Structure 1
């Protein structure tokens, strides 16, 4: 593919514009200040300043004026900080791209990429624009920031690529189909452009301001009219009416509200919840619906081998993350030597047929963790191999050097490696999707064994696990190519992997239900995975199952009459998440949305309370959110909601006190 000419690329760039996320027009400072002053309660305070000046009470005028200045400054500062989501989104764009133009490979600024350009992709590249794949070689793309999937996705010819995603493995050639605002990042930026609606506290205070202003004016008019009818001097009655208006205005209320919210935000920060917008503190106390994503929020966000099946036994592996620690159990008891040997044979083969590596914690800090270098799923297989006592991985690679391989691709759906044995001959190791491995053309096992393996694989898949079948075989000579050795092998077993729920996820959701909050799951992952996770964390409560899962296509197609009747959504995109939030808000619910990916940004921005993960979350999610969890724990949300309810109660008590005090100060008509 020769690619575009330089002249043609320049012509298209002039026509479609630069490949950049469009920024919305920045509001001038005076516009932000006027928006704050248009608040009804602030207008009442401005009127109070005018009245106190009219009666010569300059001390009160200064105090009320300072309250107006402080509240306006705080409001404008919060609004500016909350408008940085699109800027963070732009930072995700690739700084440069490798393209083919005029039959030559060129490194160009990503902003100059145009539809029709031929992208050349390699491991670690950020994809500069939406594109369709023309050629791929073991291409694996991390799309978690857009889709929420916990593992990278295999891509073959004709598959779609999205701007901002990352090539995790392999190589590819793709033709650009959309850039700038038409690409994935641009469409998300457009969804972020909507303005927030006022918080429940702001709505209540605005309503209070309107009522207070109307009642004050009516009472002042009545007092003035009554005095004039009785023949009292007009000047005296004017001063009396103005004094009545000043006494009726609770000028300290905005300052007290700001102070209460600030103290609440400080207490939340001590409990790992950072507040980005002060009104969000009170809104948390009004939350009635909690929409949570799956990966990293309800689950650990890391693939783990949880079960290994062989024709003779099944074992369960405990532990989280890539830490090579955890018990090996059979039917709830520690696995015996014979059972361990069978599982070791399975996981030794997966350790050999593997391109990942494990990186130990960089320090002794309790926050340091083992990390996988390469495919997260293959990293999980290495962790499992260490747990069950397989030979040292470095020594294993030394004694069984790889001499040939057939990489995984989405057509064959399996990977094969060939290793030299110390005793002579070679060992063929194969792992892949059960439907690609459990076949008579690949394995020599009996039909009954294959039937049992297929049934077990189906059971694992129905439980939301990702399943791999593992096989091996001895050869006297090295098969050329390596794929020629994918026959006459012996089935070793099945490996079931998943992203396990966090230990306290079920208890946290139970606390939400006890507090009158309805939890719902909104994820971009597979429906079976979403359903399985919902069951494990008891999203619907104990003794219930998430047997009804709605997909994003169902939402987009209008096939769901009432979105608020659904508790589990899968395969959702940013627009559908907005639709779900809008449906709940139309019912009068106060919605909180958690998320960590770019795809969560619009919903976080539009929800009454957007809650981002501070550790693993993207900058886009953090900038779009009202609340950032520094510990990435959903239980912190429950603690923040408790604090929000306490703040609301304190503000309500002060309002009653302030109104009573104002009534007591109201002067009697002469």
Structure 2
């Protein structure tokens, strides 16, 4: 049967039939299908004929992929060093430097192998995660509608497409509502096209409006999109992360080039050094200065971080979105479903009762009975309840004239707070049948309806503000509803209707104010349309903000694409997911804030390593250049290879290190990285030079520690001196990672176990080599445990100033160095601003004491905390939120006191139990 079907579908397979334009009846005839769809067996057979509904992916050779890790500027320098070791080093009566050549190739292979394995694992994990996001299609199979992956669709399938879907295959439309299709990605049409019965739609188009059924006419490479795929410009844009890597790599290469140029100028024309020792010194700078592991460490760190984000409910579609999320300082969040539960509920405390003798609980019971349609019992039929529009129900009430004014007043009061009103009424039916005439209707109560905030939203918003992320509410609801939600969440009520800011008819009261300032300082926007979202993001980005945007609908796609970090919330449409950078699998704002913290931790690891890499380049180039030029000391290139291999093995664990996320939005600050690297590297280089001078030119160490002197110039002593220098450089270089990974004192912030373990293993190996090795091919000789102890003690003593230098650099670069000396800049403070922060803190404390609240948490106002660099915008938003909460408490207390006076209650008893 399969062969017979293949023959009958041969014309379709060879595209000999124009299924796009022939009448729809002929489409069914040529596809050998009907309106009832295909059976599973038929679909499986056609899948063998037409193939899966996806574009062909080129199978990349794993061997070529492995070699690709050796094809980058940093690897080119190492490869040049390898060629130099066997070509240029072949002189001075000595054979080629095969041991250095083998060592360099080994180092390249180690880095490439680790990169290949980790990226392959990360790729497999990413493929598994993306499979969860694979486009789905609603298809009619075996007479039942089921949801299948779009990849298994075949010509002849009947599918259902609706608003927000990405059309999974080329199809012809059947019965249903006309569709509005966005084909801009395929045809360039800027306006949506209207499609109806018999019209063709293309794979990859987005449904903007409507719902309809369709018959699939082409899949995979046979679709319009598949045929045009080879025409699509697939040029890879160089991302920001790659630009940063290139900049750091270029800095290191230029530093090495400058060092080598100076060595060549001094060694040969001035010092008249022999050819081969000069080449060895150049190899030391080439091999030791290149951070060959940098691409591997950073890519592995991001891959592992992406996996951790997925475990928290945030799937990363674009890996570099991690660094952008770490720098995000504004988050435009949807209200419905993200900040709120998207479930209308009744606020029991605000129920307004109009019938005497009826309690709020009884009102809720009546409303519940009125909501039941099925399985009503005798009580339900004896007392008929009604629930609905208050104005309509009021018209039926027998006492309408008496309560109408009060009802309308309450409705208006609810509306001012953004609450919807629901009326409840009842009537007695003596016969017990709903069809029987009953007594007059009694208007019982008004229920306030509201979409309540999520239980964790208020706390999460406070966390976001403390992290320097300003959360702005984006809602299509009315302004009153947005303000009420903002009040309940404690995020402030400084909100505007977006049409008043961005529409043609702006609000007169704010027409003269700069719109960009209002958008920047607003707590949220109401009545938002999709084009407003795009404009809000655009204006925030123009103010140099890193902007995140959440969305779930097809109309959110432009704003998600425009934002620095587009976030598709849980249950988002395919179009929103396609346009986003991160897809959430869990609802709520807390997932996003957790992802921000994780992203900052990932970014912190990458930043720590780049500072370390630059520092090591400077210390190797400057340190060994000075030794070679001042004392004509020739350090063996092979030992630099040993240092590099041990360093790489240790530094790979940085991807899983325990770090403290930055308390503020973070980003690549190349000036800070280069400055810190140059200063720390210069300090370490000078420590090596001083150690060499003390060991080689003085009798200090033998006199104090009673060890063999190294100040003689015999060849053996040079070998032992090389071992001592090797151990000193190896230990202090690797220990530097503990300084760059910490924001405070390096011995206070506990590192990850793997990093500590790798460090001690590597340094144990380095110490054993320095103590016992007697390698003639590389000119080193064991120095014994005495000298090894001296080296360790020397490095420990000179390790501690590294933290102080780090602090000095940070504060010097931040422009706040003088704040350490003068906490309050009294001389530069205007009279009206002097002590403003203290006055605000005292006012807030007084208000909280007045209302019986706990003292404010120290984290709420972190001006005096360790990190007092919170962005001004987030700080202002935090204060507005706090003031809004206190004002609400002040109003609430006034209401309580009014009720107490009317009821004649004891105010003392009320105050004792008045807690929030």
Distance in 2 separating the partners of 1:33 and 1:570: 55
Greater Rg by CA: 2
Is the counterpart of residue 57 in structure 1 residue 57 in structure 2? no
Aligned twin of 1:499:
451
Aligned twin of 1:7:
23
Q: Which of 392, 410, 415 is residue 461 of structure 1 equivalent to?
A: 415
C-alpha displacement of 1:546: 3.2
Please say if residues 36 and 75 of structure 1, whose CA atoms lie closer than 8 Å, have aligned partners that are also in contact: no
Question: Deviation string for 1:307-349 (max 9, x for gaps)?
Answer: 4634438xxxxxxxxxxxxxxxxxxxxxxx9443x65256425
How high is the TM-score relative to the length of structure 1?
0.59
**Superposition CA RMSD, Å:** 5.5
C-alpha displacement of 1:65: 4.4
C-alpha displacement of 1:497: 1.8
Q: Which of 359, 367, 377 is residue 398 of structure 1 equivalent to?
A: 377
Aligned twin of 2:75:
45
Q: Which of 285, 295, 308 is residue 244 of structure 1 equivalent to?
A: 285
Distance in 1 separating the partners of 2:139 and 2:421: 37
Q: How does 1:442-457 map to 2 (within 5 A)?
A: 442-457=396-411
Question: Deviation string for 1:430-465 (max 9, x for gaps)?
Answer: 332334444x4x333233411211221222233222
Question: Deviation string for 1:120-153 (max 9, x for gaps)?
Answer: 8xxxxxxxx6379xxxxxxxxxxxxxxxxxxxxx
Is the counterpart of residue 184 in structure 1 residue 207 in structure 2? yes
SS at structure 2 position matched to 1:632: coil
More deviation, 81-90/257-266: 81-90
C-alpha displacement of 1:500: 0.7
Distance in 2 separating the partners of 1:490 and 1:176: 55
**Aligned residue-pair number:** 504
Distance in 1 separating the partners of 2:68 and 2:264: 28
Q: How does 1:95-114 map to 2 (within 5 A)?
A: 95=139, 108-110=158-160
SS at structure 2 position matched to 1:296: helix
SS at structure 1 position matched to 2:288: helix
SS at structure 2 position matched to 1:250: coil
Question: Deviation string for 1:136-192 (max 9, x for gaps)?
Answer: xxxxxxxxxxxxxxxxxxxxxxxx9x99xxxxxxxxxx98999656653599xx9xx
How high is the TM-score relative to the length of structure 2?
0.45
Q: Which of 290, 293, 300 is residue 341 of structure 2 equivalent to?
A: 300
Going by fraction, where is strand more abundant, 1 or 2? 1
Aligned twin of 2:494:
546
Please say if residues 340 and 452 of structure 2, whose CA atoms lie closer than 8 Å, have aligned partners that are also in contact: yes
Aligned twin of 1:210:
250
More deviation, 345-354/657-666: 345-354
Distance in 2 separating the partners of 1:649 and 1:220: 32
Q: How does 1:156-167 map to 2 (within 5 A)?
A: none
Question: Deviation string for 1:449-486 (max 9, x for gaps)?
Answer: 11211221222233222322233345689999x9x999
Q: How does 1:410-559 map to 2 (within 5 A)?
A: 420-421=381-382, 429-438=385-394, 440=395, 442-474=396-428, 489-540=441-492, 545-551=493-499, 555=502
Distance in 2 separating the partners of 1:89 and 1:432: 40
Distance in 2 separating the partners of 1:175 and 1:492: 51
C-alpha displacement of 1:296: 2.9
Question: Deviation string for 1:50-83 (max 9, x for gaps)?
Answer: 4334425333334334434654776688789889
Distance in 1 separating the partners of 2:77 and 2:83: 10
Q: Which runs of 5+ in 2 are unaligned?
A: 1-20, 31-52, 86-99, 144-156, 161-168, 182-191, 211-224, 226-232, 507-513, 633-916
Give the structure, 1 or 2, with the largest relative contact order (CA under 8 Å, sep 6 or more). Answer: 1
Q: Which of 546, 549, 557 is residue 590 of structure 1 equivalent to?
A: 546
Distance in 2 separating the partners of 1:258 and 1:73: 12
Aligned twin of 2:620:
665
More deviation, 597-606/245-254: 597-606
Q: 1:310 to 1:570 in 2, by over 3 A?
A: closer
Q: 1:610 to 1:485 in 2, by over 3 A?
A: farther
Q: Which of 571, 589, 609 is residue 634 of structure 1 equivalent to?
A: 589
Please say if residues 520 and 568 of structure 1, whose CA atoms lie closer than 8 Å, have aligned partners that are also in contact: yes
Please say if residues 425 and 441 of structure 2, whose CA atoms lie closer than 8 Å, have aligned partners that are also in contact: yes
Aligned twin of 1:567:
523
Distance in 2 separating the partners of 1:270 and 1:87: 15
Q: 1:312 to 1:60 in 2, by over 3 A?
A: same
Q: How does 1:36-185 map to 2 (within 5 A)?
A: 42-55=72-85, 56-68=100-112, 70-71=114-115, 91=135, 93-95=137-139, 108-110=158-160, 118-119=175-176, 130=179, 183-184=206-207
Please say if residues 70 and 108 of structure 2, whose CA atoms lie closer than 8 Å, have aligned partners that are also in contact: no
Q: How does 1:262-281 map to 2 (within 5 A)?
A: 279-281=320-322
Q: Which runs of 5+ in 1 are unaligned?
A: 15-22, 99-106, 121-128, 133-159, 164-173, 314-336, 357-393, 401-418, 422-426
Aligned twin of 2:6:
none
Q: 1:654 to 1:108 in 2, by over 3 A?
A: closer
C-alpha displacement of 1:537: 0.9
C-alpha displacement of 1:523: 3.2
C-alpha displacement of 1:501: 0.9
Is the counterpart of residue 652 in structure 1 residue 607 in structure 2? yes
Is the counterpart of residue 291 in structure 1 residue 332 in structure 2? yes
Distance in 2 separating the partners of 1:571 and 1:196: 38
Going by fraction, where is helix more abundant, 1 or 2? 2
Q: Which of 348, 351, 364 is residue 309 of structure 1 equivalent to?
A: 351
Distance in 1 separating the partners of 2:133 and 2:610: 41
